[in-house]
Amino acid sequence: MNPSSLAARVRQTLLRQVLRLLLPAGLAACALPSLAQGLGALTAGAPAPGGVFQSPQTRAELVAHAPEGVRPGQPLWVGLRLEHAPEWHTYWKNAGDSGLPTELRWTLPEGVSAGEIAWPTPRKFPIGTLANYGYDGTVILPVPLQVSDNFRGDTLPVKLDAAWLVCKKECIPEEASFALDLPVNGTSAGHAPLFAAMQAALPREQPPGASQLQPEEGFLRVALDGLPAAWRGRSLEFFPELTGVIEPGAAWTQAWEDGRWSARIPLSPHRFEAPAQMALVVAPAQPAGSGAGEAGVRLQVPVQGTWPAAAPLPAAVPDALQAALDANAARAGASAPTSTTSLTLGAALLGALIGGLILNLMPCVFPVLAIKVMAFAQHADDRRAHRRAGLAYTAGVVLSFMALGALLLGLRAAGEQLGWGFQLQSPAVVAALAVLFTVIGLNLAGLFEFGQLAPGRLAGLQLRHPTADAFLTGVLATAVASPCTAPFMGASLGLAVALPTTQALAVFAVLGLGMALPYLVASWVPAVARALPRPGPWMLRFKQFMAFPMFATVVWLLWVLGQQSGIDGAAALLMLLVVLALAIWALGLAGKARVVLGGASLAALLALAIGIGPNVVQLQAADAATAPAPTAVAGVAWEPWSPQRQAELTAQGRTVFVDFTAAWCVTCQYNKRTTLADERVLADVAEGQVALLRADWTRRDPAVTQALAALGRNGVPVYAIYRNGQPVTVLSEVLSVDEVRTALAQP
User: What residues contact residue 395 under an 8 Å CB cut-off, 6+ apart?
Assistant: 471, 474
- Residues 647 and 43: their CA atoms lie apart, in Å, by 19
Dist. CA 109–CA 184, nearest whole Å: 13
Q: Is 620 helix (H, G, I), strand (E, B) or coil?
A: coil
Strands 90-96 and 155-167: unpaired
User: Which tops the pLDDT comparison, 169 or 619?
Assistant: 169
Q: Measure CA of the first residue to CA of the last residue in the chain; give whole Å.
A: 43
Instruction: Tell me what pLDDT residue 42 has.
Output: 38
For residues 42 and 102, is the Cβ–Cβ distance under 8 A? no
**Looking at per-residue confidence, does 362 or 704 come out higher?**
704
pLDDT of 659 above 90: yes
Position 658 confidence tier, pLDDT thresholds 50, 70, 90: very high
Query: Mean per-residue pLDDT for 383-400?
Result: 84
Among 445-449, 499-503, 509-513, 655-659, the range with the most confident prediction by mean pLDDT is: 655-659
Tell me the H-state helices in 418-525: 427-445, 450-453, 456-459, 461-464, 466-481, 489-496, 501-524
- Check pLDDT > 60 for residue 21: no
Higher-pLDDT residue of 210, 448: 210
Query: How does residue 289 score in pLDDT terms, banded at 50, 70 and 90?
Result: low
**Residues recorded for the chain:** 747
CATH of domain 3-185: 2.60.40
**What is residue 456's predicted lDDT score, i.e. its pLDDT?**
43
Which is more confidently placed, 549 or 119?
119
Residue 498, pLDDT above cutoff 60: no
- pLDDT above 90 for 691: yes
pLDDT digits (tens, 9 = 90+) for 422-432: 566 678 878 88
Q: pLDDT > 90: what percent of the chain?
A: 20
What pLDDT sits at residue 47? 58
The full set of domain ranges for the chain reads 3-185, 212-302, 345-617, 629-745
Query: Helix (H) and strand (E) counts for the chain?
Result: 24, 25
CA separation for the pair 388, 562 (Å, rounded): 40
pLDDT band per the 50, 70, 90 thresholds, residue 24:
very low
Which of 353, 359, 351, 356 is CA-nearest to residue 492? 351
Amino acid 487: pLDDT: 53
> For 300, phi and psi rounded to 5 degrees?
-105, 105
Tell me the average pLDDT across 118-135: 87
Q: Is it the case that residue 532 has pLDDT exceeding 80?
A: no
pLDDT of 16 strictly over 50: no
> Residue 102: which pLDDT band, with cuts at 50, 70 and 90?
very high
Q: Among 388-392, 584-588, 623-627, name the one with the lowest average pLDDT.
A: 623-627
Does the pLDDT of residue 275 top 80, yes or no?
yes
Categorize the per-residue pLDDT at 279 as very low, low, confident or very high, splitting at 50, 70 and 90. very high
Among residues 109, 113, 105, the alpha carbon closest in space to that of 154 is found at: 109
What is the C-alpha separation between 518 and 390, in angstroms, rounded?
10
Nearest to 505, CA basis, from 414, 391, 398, 397: 398
116 has a pLDDT exceeding 80 = yes
* 343-372 tens-digit pLDDT: 567 777 887 788 778 777 665 566 665 566
Q: Are strands 171-183 and 155-167 parallel, antiparallel or unpaired?
A: antiparallel
Omega of the bond leading into 208 within 30 degrees of 0 (cis): no
pLDDT at 22 over 50: no
pLDDT for 12 equals 39
Mean pLDDT for 139-152 is 88
Average pLDDT on 265-288 reads 84
Residue of 584 and 450 predicted with greater confidence = 584
Most confident of 177-191, 233-247, 380-394: 233-247
Judge: domain 629-745, CATH 3.40.30.10: yes
Q: Are strands 77-84 and 155-167 parallel, antiparallel or unpaired?
A: unpaired
The whole-angstrom separation of Cα 347 and Cα 344 is 5
Is pLDDT above 60 for 149? yes
Identify the pLDDT of residue 457.
45
290-305: average pLDDT = 85
Residue 197 predicted with pLDDT over 60: yes
Average pLDDT over residues 453-468: 52
Residue 567 or 93, more confident? 93
What local confidence, expressed as pLDDT, does residue 366 receive? 61
- What average pLDDT does the segment 269-281 reach? 83
Whether 671 has a pLDDT exceeding 80, the answer reads yes
For residue 471, the model assigns a pLDDT of 84
Instruction: Check residue 530 and give its pLDDT.
Output: 66
Residues 224-233 have a mean pLDDT of 91
pLDDT digits (tens, 9 = 90+) for 329-344: 454 444 444 333 345 6
Over range 435-444, report the average pLDDT.
83
pLDDT at 203: 92
Q: Using 50, 70 and 90 to split pLDDT, how confident is the model at 373?
A: low
Rounded (10°) CA dihedral 636, 638, 640, 646: 60
Helix (H) or strand (E) holding 207: none
What band does 624 get if pLDDT is binned at 50, 70 and 90? Answer: very low
By the 10 Å C-beta count (0-12 exposed, 13-18 middle, 19+ buried), 446 is classed as: exposed
Q: What is the pLDDT of residue 9?
A: 41
3-state secondary structure of 547: helix
Q: Where is mean pLDDT largest: 6-20, 367-381, 515-529, 564-578?
A: 564-578
Burial of 114 (0-12, 13-18, 19+ CB in 10 A): middle
Sign of CA dihedral 495, 499, 505, 507: negative
Pairing of strands 155-167, 260-266: unpaired
DSSP code, position 643: H
- What percent of the chain is helix, strand and coil (3-state, nearest 5)? 45, 20, 35
DSSP 69-129: -S-TTS--EEEEEEEEPTT-BEEEEEEESS----EEEEE--TTEEE----PPP-EEEEETT
Q: Is the pLDDT of residue 455 over 90?
A: no
Lowest mean pLDDT among 90-99, 318-327, 652-661, 723-732: 318-327
How much is the pLDDT for 148? 86
Q: Which residues contact 245 (CB under 8 A, 6 or more apart)?
A: 220, 267, 268, 271, 273, 275, 278
How far is residue 142's CA from residue 192's CA, in Å, rounded to a whole number?
Answer: 12
Rounded (5°) CA angle 289-295-299 = 135
- Give the per-residue pLDDT at 182: 83
Q: Report yes or no: 31 and 726 within 8 Å, Cβ to Cβ.
A: no
Q: Which helix (H) or strand (E) holds 377?
A: helix 366-378
pLDDT number for residue 450: 58
pLDDT band at 383; cut points 50, 70, 90: confident
694 has pLDDT over 70: yes
- Supply the pLDDT for residue 194: 80
Which amino acid belongs to residue 53? F
Q: Measured between alpha carbons, how far is 644 from 138 in angstroms, rounded to an integer?
A: 15
Q: Is the pLDDT of residue 224 over 60?
A: yes
| Contact (Cβ atoms closer than 8 angstroms) between residue 368 and residue 476 | yes
